[in-house]
């Protein structure tokens, strides 16, 4: 199994530019989570999807942030326009939640390190 795949691994951009982070969850998983990790705030849940539907986006910091999951194997997190305070490591994680079986634990991708100058 390839695990959760994220791209790019590193992104450096200038303030005001649009940034798109990508995630491919583990095949067969039906839940997907986006997190942000910083030294100051630790690991924050931004949004999560179940069966491609956004369930809770209360962690999304501002309207500049948006996330989509057009199908079971792909999700994007977009920041437009980006600001220096968005600099962080962004993680995608996936899990399986079913009627008869739930794994509960999440499997994380390697992260995207975003630097906004």
93 binds other proteins (CB under 8 A): yes
98 binds other proteins (CB under 8 A): no
14 binds other proteins (CB under 8 A): no
What angle is formed at CA 83 by the lines to CA 77 and CA 88, rounded to 5 degrees? 60
109 binds other proteins (CB under 8 A): yes
Task: Please list, in sequence order, all residues whose beta carbon lies within 8 angstroms of the beta carbon of residue 79, skipping any fewer than 6 positions away.
Answer: 18, 19, 64, 65, 86, 114
45 binds other proteins (CB under 8 A): yes
12 binds other proteins (CB under 8 A): no
DSSP states along 54-78:
EEE-TT--STTEEEEEEETTEEEEE
Which residues of the shown chain bind other proteins in the complex (CB under 8 A)? 4, 31, 33, 42-43, 45, 48, 50, 55-56, 91, 93, 97, 102, 104-111
């Amino acid at each position: 199994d390839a695990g959760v795949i994220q791209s790019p691994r590193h992104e450096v951009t200038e303030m005001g530019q649009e940034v798109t982070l990508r995630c491919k969850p583990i095949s067969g998983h039906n839940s997907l989570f986006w997190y942000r990790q910083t030294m100051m705030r630790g690991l924050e849940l931004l949004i999560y999807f179940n069966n491609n539907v956004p369930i809770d986006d209360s962690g999304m910091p501002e309207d500049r942030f948006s996330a989509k999951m057009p199908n079971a194997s792909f999700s994007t997190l977009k920041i437009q326009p980006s600001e220096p305070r968005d600099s962080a490591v962004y993680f995608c994680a996936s899990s399986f939640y079913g009627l008869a079986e739930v794994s509960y634990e999440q499997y994380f991708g390697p992260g995207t390190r975003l630097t906004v100058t």
